[in-house]
Chain A
Amino acid sequence: MKQGLVITPKIILVDDDPLEAQLVSHGFEKVGIQADFIYFDSGKRFLEFVEQDAAQTKDVSLVLLDLKMPLMNGKEVLSACQSRSLPKLPIVIFTSSSHPVDINDCYSLGASAFVTKPIKREEYLDSLKKIADFWVGINQRMSK
């Protein structure tokens, strides 16, 4: 908690690659987003977390979910969230894929947004900023 009464937003990162997660969190910081980052290196761990304690998930502003992960991929995580009636979280798919099938599947499985990772550094940072501004902002507005 860095700023008085304002609650630091929670952002969950789900990606099998810690390098990617760190790049994302660094990117968020780079564009000025202050947040507590919770990192899960598999969809299974993320689901366990959500299932264990619904209260913990209350103040989660955003989940950034990778698509291509071993054992349980992003779509499977989405469908598990649906079928186990877990608390509704804003899940943004952040992936290098831009395949229309993936996009379709994810939205129909309840993803809040689908964002393809831009290759160029500036665009990449820009997309992170836009994601955070929207989702973190909306949560802060709603909590007030």
Chain B
Amino acid sequence: MSTPPISSVHLAQTPAMTLAWKDLVKYSSSAVGVFDDQFKCLYHSDSWHQIGFGSQHSVGKYFFDIFPQAELVWADLLAQCQGGESMKGDPHRFVFSDGRILWLACEARPWKKENGGIAGVLITLHDHTKEFVARNQYSGEYFQLAEACKLGMLAYWEWKAGHGMLNFSSQLPLIYNLDPEDVQIRSFPEIVASMVVPEDVDRFMEVRNLVYTEQKPQDLLYRIRTPDNQIRHIRTTYQLFEQDPDDGALLIKGITQDITSLNQTQQRIDGSEQAFRHVMAKGGIAMLLLDVDLTCIGMSPVLSNMLGQIPYADRQVPFLSLMHPVDRLDKDTVLTELITNLKDSITVEKRIRHAEGYYLSLEFTFTVVRNEEGAVRMLVGHVNNQTLQREQVTKMAFDNEELERLVLTRTRALEEANTNLQMSNDQLERFAHTIAHDLRAPIRHMQGYAEVLTEDYAQLLPETAQKFLGYIQKAGDKLGTMVDQLLQFAKDSNHPLMLEWVDLSKLIDELKELLLTDTLHADTIDWVLDIKARVWGDPYLIRVIMQNLMSNAMKFSSNQTNSTIIIKAFYDETGTTIEVEDHGIGFDMQYYEKLFLIFERLTGQPHFPGTGIGLASVKKAVDRHKGRVWAESKIGEGATFWVSLPGQ
């Protein structure tokens, strides 16, 4: 047997590590037991049972209670280990109550807590029996079985053909309820044969003949009727076959055991187990049986069906392997508590894998089944399927969660959009101010120095130079205006829309006053107003629209024969339409597409100054109201602009 691959014996602190570590122990091929610092067994490998502790479950018991024979041999070794040293002992011969003899070596290592303190001891029992049997080292010692016989039910004996019993332990007559003298006589085998109950006689004789003829180890089970009329169950083990070195006669050494009480218990168990299995199989209840190491040792067909599995009764899967990985983690606190005697029954909910891969939420109520000595023998669990309820709860939680998440996502998107908008507004404003500073400064220098020239040095310049100086000043003025309008356009584009009812008549009156001072020949304009509407819009942007349309109309009407400007406004449920008609120079409809584009001008005449920003501003403002702007014109006859804005 190999040493388990545990390089560092350290109690893993995280549940996952603990789980992995426990699995490492559980499936170790060596018999490994994990004990606490008081040598109380916490858990052990599956192979632990092979040593001979199988009939009594070890978890929760002290090492020397599980393995009393070891106390004499290993007490010192383990005490040293308890002090923190890793210890390894030589193989030692042990006799077990069922007669088996094993040569075991003990390897003990302390396992430590996070803080370095001793948490307990990890005991590995290495089975060296095969080596020792091979070397035949133990044959001569086999019958010094005094200790084993102290156990009461067991007797050893040594029988020589033609001589009868050479040697036997004092228990042997007691087992048969005979006098020791009866055992000593040559006809003892016949006496025994005569005691065998009729039903077992044939088998008894058959096996015994086999023993003499084949001279191979045999177990013989039979019932006898004792002189005081009791039925006893006896097991005789014929173990060793030798030849007497003196006369070559057959020597047989063996053990005889009274297994009556064992058998009766077994029968009782068999009976109740039969009943139990009947309930399991036919009861229509989802049930589960777990061994102390949480191996699933039985499952009712109802549960098998629920899980889409064939019954596990004879397949023995680890219960944990059926569980959702996340749900395995609290195994320690819940089921171990149950097993280590702290509780008698417990209800846990676990997600269990269906054969098709999805998980069912099952509620297990586990009850502890104990043996006569009170040790936990197995866990019986009955199962309620909670999947539907859980799914509903989960779905509701999911729906809510999804809704909340959606709201959150949208809110964030909105906030982000707001922030971006705020940023683009801020950036634009910064940009506008940068332009204002960077472009205006050189323009102002141009104008300033031209001014200085005109003021201080005009008399020194020839007339032509003075004229050119004038051109520089005009260009400077125009550049200044363009920069200012461009800034205005950028600001208008980002002006936050605040909709309200705008009094159009009032606005137009105001603008008429304003434009009168700004526009050449404004006083020659004839105004015809037919305003039957108010406008649902942003007051500032409506102002931008009207101011540009009106100043354009005025500009292109000045110096014309007909300088009448007609403004009409009407509205219905769909919104407001404004019409601005002039009789000025008009524009060529061929270039209509360029009319509302920024920096585009449809007239090249120098006495109609412009920057090509005005109508672009109008278009922008109308677009922001989700409205429409369009125009019609004939060169020399005037132009009409329409703006249509949606209602409230």
Contact = CB atoms under 8 A, between A and B. Distances in A.
A117 B445 CA distance: 12
B441 A17 contact: yes
Contact of B448 (A67, A68, A96, A121): A121
A138 interface: no
B447 interface: yes
Interface stretch (B343-351, B432-440, B533-541, B621-629): B432-440
Contact of A121 (B437, B438, B447): B447
A17 to B, nearest CB: 7
A97 B433 CA distance: 7
B472 interface: no
Given A26-B452, A119-B480, A121-B451, A97 B437 contact: yes
A99 B436 CA distance: 11
A28 B542 CA distance: 43
Contacts of A27: 448
A1 interface: no
A20 interface: yes
Interface in A18-42: 19-20, 23, 26-27, 30
Contacts of A97: 433, 436-437
B449 interface: yes
Interface in B369-425: none
Nearest to A95: B437
B444 interface: yes
Nearest to B484: A119
Nearest to B440: A96
Contacts of A117: 444
Nearest to A102: B433
A71 to B, nearest CB: 16
Contact of A119 (B433, B437, B444, B449): B444
Nearest to B439: A96
Contacts, number: 39
A49 interface: no
B433 A23 contact: no
Interface residues of B, number: 17
A77 B444 CA distance: 25
Contacts of B441: 17, 20, 96
Interface residues of A, number: 17
Contacts of B451: 121
A124 interface: yes
B182 to A, nearest CB: 119
Contact of A96 (B429, B436, B447, B449): B436
Given A17-B441, A119-B440, A124 B433 contact: no
Contact of A23 (B437, B438, B445): B445
B508 to A, nearest CB: 29
B480 A68 contact: no
Contacts of B436: 96-97
Contacts of A20: 441, 445
B433 A19 contact: no
B426 to A, nearest CB: 10
Contacts of A68: 434, 437-438
Interface string B434-470: 1011101100110111011001000000000000000
B143 to A, nearest CB: 103
Contacts of B434: 68
A127 to B, nearest CB: 12
A40 B494 CA distance: 38
A42 to B, nearest CB: 16
B579 to A, nearest CB: 36
Nearest to A24: B448
A117 B440 CA distance: 10
A78 B449 CA distance: 30
A112 B233 CA distance: 118
Contacts of B444: 23, 96, 117, 119, 124
B482 to A, nearest CB: 13
Contacts of A67: 437
A67 B449 CA distance: 22
Contact of B449 (A23, A99, A124): A23
Nearest to B451: A121
A103 to B, nearest CB: 12
Contacts of A23: 444-445, 448-449, 452
A51 B451 CA distance: 38
B537 to A, nearest CB: 27
B187 to A, nearest CB: 123
B437 A19 contact: no
Given A20-B445, A119-B480, A99 B433 contact: yes
B28 to A, nearest CB: 73
Contacts of A19: 445, 449
Nearest to B449: A23
A99 B451 CA distance: 27
Contacts of A30: 452, 455
Q: Top 9 closest A-B pairs, CB basis?
A: A96-B437, A121-B451, A23-B448, A19-B445, A96-B440, A99-B433, A68-B437, A97-B433, A96-B436
Interface of B: 429, 433-434, 436-438, 440-441, 444-445, 447-449, 451-452, 455, 480
24 contacts: A17-B441, A19-B445, A19-B449, A20-B441, A23-B445, A23-B449, A23-B452, A26-B452, A27-B448, A30-B452, A68-B434, A68-B437, A95-B437, A96-B440, A96-B441, A96-B444, A97-B436, A97-B437, A99-B429, A117-B444, A119-B440, A121-B448, A121-B451, A124-B444
Given A23-B452, A124-B444, 12 more contacts: A17-B441, A17-B445, A20-B441, A26-B452, A30-B452, A96-B440, A97-B437, A99-B429, A117-B444, A119-B444, A121-B447, A124-B448
